[in-house]
Chains A and B, each alone.
Chain A
Amino acid sequence: MTALTAAEITGEQPYAELGLSEDEYQRIVATLGRKPSPPELAMYSVMWSEHCSYKSSKVHLRQFGDLPGRERMLAGIGENAGVVDVGGGLAVTFKVESHNHPSFVEPYQGAATGVGGIIRDILAMGARPIAVMDSLRFGEVDAPDTARVLPGVVAGVGGYGNCMGLPNIGGEIGFDPTYAGNPLVNALCVGVLPAERVQTASASGAGNAVILFGAKTGRDGIGGVSVLASATFGALTSESGAAPARRPSVQVGDPFTEKVVTECSLELFDRGLVVGIQDLGGAGLTCALSETAAKAGNGMDVDLDRVPLREASMAPEEVLVSESQERMLAIVEPAQVMEVLNVCARWGVLATVIASVTDGAGDSGENGGRLVVRWHGEKVVDLPPASLVEDGPVYERPMQRRAPLPDRELPRPTDLRAELLSLIASPDVCSRRWVTEQYDRYVLGNTVLAMPDDAGVLRLDEETNVGVAMALDGPARFAALDPYTGAKLALAEACRNVAATGAVPVAVTDCLNFGSPEDPEVMWSFAEACRGLADGCRELGIPVTGGNVSFYNGTGDTAILPTPVVGVLGLFDDVTRRTPSAFQAEGEVLLLLGETRDEFGGSVWAWNAHRHLGGAPPAVDLKAEQELAEVLVAGSRDGMLSSAHDLSDGGLAVALVESCLQGHRGARIVLPEGADPFVALFSESAGRALVSVPRSEELRFSDMCEARDLPWTRIGVVEAEDGPLELQDVLSVPLDELRRAYEDTLPNIFGGDAVTHN
């Protein structure tokens, strides 16, 4: 075939099976002026899928484009990950991304490749990955399928990160029936790089070579983005049959290969051997080739026969859309090609020149500026690369305000001791140790704080002790009650967690997990969450640097709770000033910062005690959050704080229990006169933290709160080692009893190691 012409491609084409609508198909025909070849059709189907094109979310995500605080940003939305200048010649890149659908089909590999994928995004910015985090959601903790999904997902997250040598420094886990057939696996990676070494995913320079390096290409993950991530399970097959039938769409990960690909890539960056770099993730080669070409306004001439294959019988469309893991694409000047191949060989990494860049201005002949793919001597693809990347459909999906979930009067408990023990044993609150003990938190030797502290804290430089903090939060029940406020509360909580450790919040990444965008109520929730997050960032003066949208999450006909997960990056001048959440010393004074109101909508208590989700979420006041954050940061800088713990799920009660257990110390609490002990203990009002200060600092610290108009209440003192948690005239519980209630829930359900109560 010398050229692809209309006459040669005839007959019905399977666009619907590939997830394209009739309109979208006609648009492809119009773009090409002919019917697409099978490989072209496959390429459009993956690039115009919801997952890759953001066709339903784009119009709402635009709000994130002009947020304040972007002075520090060296790269932002549209890049593989946002990059933030942290001073001293260093930059940090971070991003969270979903791998939800594959993790239901095959929990271990789905979760593992979710971690692998986000690591490559960070690597593609030119950074050394230095830590991972994960935000997970499952069906009810004791549901039969949770026993399949949760252990597999946890082992997958751990298996990949541990073998890659990346510390897992925190995250969160939640449970709700709506996630039963659709768990959420959101993985975050942080990387560090010299500020001047930010890489671009651009195929600049006609005549440059395009080198594919890393793993061979196989049949795994064919159509992952279009088949798995862009349709609701159960639509095509029965729910029970859906998972196994789609297993071939799940990628298989090999962290050892990723480790050597990482070291190899870093050497290429260090030595300045590449002019552009892109990871291969969703939509595989198609995405990497077309995005790098489109970004530079250039074309590519691809010799697809050169791609190393695991299976020789693969068709060209399979090679083009395979999502085989652990692959990178480098754009290299001709003079450096040999050296790049040598570096790859030294690391034992397979590397192959598969294409050359052609001039978008037309100096490369008739194919210049076009993405041309040859296979067995025939031209099988000939299209403008930008048509895959930029010309995809954009939808303004219909929206319908969702009726508020009705509230009702919930009977309040009289036995607060029993309520406390029940709450701390509940799946939403209980110790995550069964999970986090499966993650290496120590590797690389720079982990200053990790779970169960409020945020992960990493040292970036051993000389200066400059560092970062990172927190990940997604209060889905609040978002279910009011997606606008819920998204703001997610942002507020992540900022508060970062500030509690003593870091200044500076930038945001987000993973927006929702049901089907074709459901007008889901679309409304999504739009409201975007608006809430954008408004929240504007009020706090911090930018969204990048993120990810995951639609079509649901169980049967029921959409998941709207789950906007927000990651916040914080900066430390000196990580030795970090504030832990554990109580440190007997006799230190406990102060509750912020204002407590009677707020139980969407609370853990309402769900745990009454299986009730209704009413309004807690009020959010970002100005008050900012004041709280400033006090927490100043308290850390000036050495006034011994501990700080943010108040969120389960309110003051849970914060007290956690700080006691982590510090192996009790506490004696006296509530202010007239306070309702139930509200004081369990309300989930936002904008609050529990801090302990040495007596010598009490006055200085409370004066600072006064000066900044931050409400504060002296509520007690830290008790002796292994002393009880005592709330005067209300309850007293020995630490051992608290520890059993808090620690035993997950081991009792999922088995494995008995937890050592030490």
Chain B
Amino acid sequence: MAARIGVVTFPGSLDDRDALRAVRLAGGDPVPLWHGDEDLLGVDAVVLPGGFSYGDYLRAGAIARFSPVVRGIVEAAGRGLPVLGICNGFQVLCEAHLLPGALTRNAGRHFICRDQWLRVENTDSAWTSSFEPGGEVLIPVKHGEGRYVASAETLAELEGDGRVAFRYLAGNPNASLNDIAGVTSADGRIVGLMPHPEHAIESLTGPSEDGLGLFVSVLQTLTGVPEAVSA
């Protein structure tokens, strides 16, 4: 039986349907979750999709973290539930302190949408285990507030523990510190990244199919299949 992967819809979520499609194409069973429900419907993992949750009023992700569903996710994450935050979802995870650091306005000040090369730095997490270590992938970025910042101690800890999941290659689109595009939690169950793997799942509609790797990884993690299948 396919693992059930929840995708949360906040008011203002935009890439929720794309994330559901990515789960489906990777072979999972996609389950829509509503922001107002603390009940996670027994899903095996959760994706917080991109968008502008609650209009990004105040600060990106700042209101979403107080929603009932995020309360449920924080609690379940404490028990090891795999969680993926994409773009706005990454911002929510940082606001909820499930991941360290913060996302600030792009150094170029503009929203930027482009196909971005990334290096997969960590292949031990629940969401990156199917990649080759050091593999290079092409995945779109699209954000106005994606500049990853953290204190010097936090950065040193992330680098030292190998918790940088993805790093920008061939040009850093937002001046993120250490070219960081995504990070993992200490236990490797939670990953947040600014690029959009759900937009790189079909060659017809994306620049590559590299993004499927994150969804394949979590399905393998959940079913206990160890070896790598995609680069």
Task: Report A's interface with B, CB cutoff 8 A.
Answer: 155, 158-159, 162-165, 254-257, 259-260, 347-348, 436-448, 459, 462, 575-576, 752-753, 756, 758
Contact = CB atoms under 8 A, between A and B. Distances in A.
B142 A448 contact: no
Contact of A256 (B52, B109, B113): B52
A319 B202 CA distance: 49
18 contacts: A155-B110, A162-B142, A163-B55, A256-B56, A257-B55, A436-B113, A437-B114, A440-B142, A442-B140, A443-B18, A444-B17, A445-B18, A448-B205, A575-B204, A752-B108, A753-B110, A753-B173, A758-B170
A445 B21 contact: yes
B204 A576 contact: yes
B111 interface: yes
A158 B110 CA distance: 10
Contacts of B140: 442
B223 to A, nearest CB: 25
Given A438-B112, A443-B18, A256 B11 contact: yes
B11 A752 contact: no
Given A163-B52, A165-B51, A753-B112, A459 B171 contact: no
Interface in B97-139: 106, 108-114, 117
A439 B144 CA distance: 11
A260 B109 CA distance: 27
The 5 A-B residue pairs whose C-beta atoms are closest, nearest first, are A256-B55, A165-B14, A756-B171, A753-B108, A442-B199
B13 to A, nearest CB: 8
B209 interface: no
A576 B106 CA distance: 35
B198 interface: yes
Contacts of A459: 204-205
B169 to A, nearest CB: 10
Contacts of A441: 113
Nearest to B117: A758
Contacts of B109: 752
A439 B113 CA distance: 6
A758 B138 CA distance: 12
- The residue among B17, B111, B205 with the most chain A CB atoms within 10 A of its own CB is B205
Contact of A758 (B52, B110, B111, B171): B171
Nearest to A445: B18
Contacts of B21: 445, 462
Interface residues of B, number: 37
A445 B110 contact: no
Contacts, number: 98
B163 interface: no
A158 B106 CA distance: 15
Interface string B52-79: 1011110000000000000000000000
B142 A256 contact: no
Nearest to B171: A756
Contacts of B51: 165
B15 interface: yes
A578 B28 CA distance: 29
Contacts of B206: 442
Contact of A254 (B55, B110, B114): B55
Nearest to A433: B114
Contacts of B4: none
Given A437-B113, A444-B17, A256 B57 contact: yes
Given A165-B15, A444-B17, A753-B173, A438 B204 contact: no
B12 interface: yes
Contact of B111 (A438, A445, A576): A438
- The residue among B11, B15, B108 with the most chain A CB atoms within 10 A of its own CB is B11
- Interface SS majority for chain B: loop
Contact of A259 (B12, B110, B198, B204): B12
Contacts of A753: 106, 108, 110, 112, 173
Contacts of A443: 14-15, 18, 50, 142, 199
Contacts of B196: 442
A154 to B, nearest CB: 9
Contacts of B114: 437, 756
A256 B21 CA distance: 23
B108 A445 contact: no
A259 B11 contact: yes
A256 B63 CA distance: 14
A609 B198 CA distance: 46
A438 B17 contact: no
Contacts of A254: 55
B204 to A, nearest CB: 6
B111 A158 contact: yes
B17 A445 contact: yes
A448 B207 CA distance: 10
Nearest to A435: B110
A441 B18 CA distance: 13
Contacts of B170: 756, 758
Contacts of B204: 448, 459, 575-576
B52 A752 contact: no
Contacts of A444: 17-18
A442 B87 CA distance: 13
B79 to A, nearest CB: 30
B108 to A, nearest CB: 4
Given A256-B52, A448-B204, A576-B204, A347 B11 contact: yes
- The residue among A159, A259, A442 with the most chain B CB atoms within 10 A of its own CB is A442
Interface in B196-215: 196, 198-199, 201-202, 204-206
Contacts of B15: 165, 443, 445
Given A438-B110, A462-B21, 8 more contacts: A155-B110, A163-B12, A163-B55, A260-B12, A442-B142, A442-B196, A443-B14, A443-B15
A155 B54 CA distance: 20
A678 B10 CA distance: 57
A165 B113 CA distance: 13
Contacts of A260: 11-12
Contacts of A438: 110-113
Contacts of B199: 442-443, 445
A162 B206 CA distance: 17
Nearest to A257: B55
Contacts of A257: 55
A604 to B, nearest CB: 27
Nearest to B206: A442
Contacts of A758: 117, 170-171
Contacts of B113: 436-442
Nearest to B173: A753
A162 B111 contact: yes
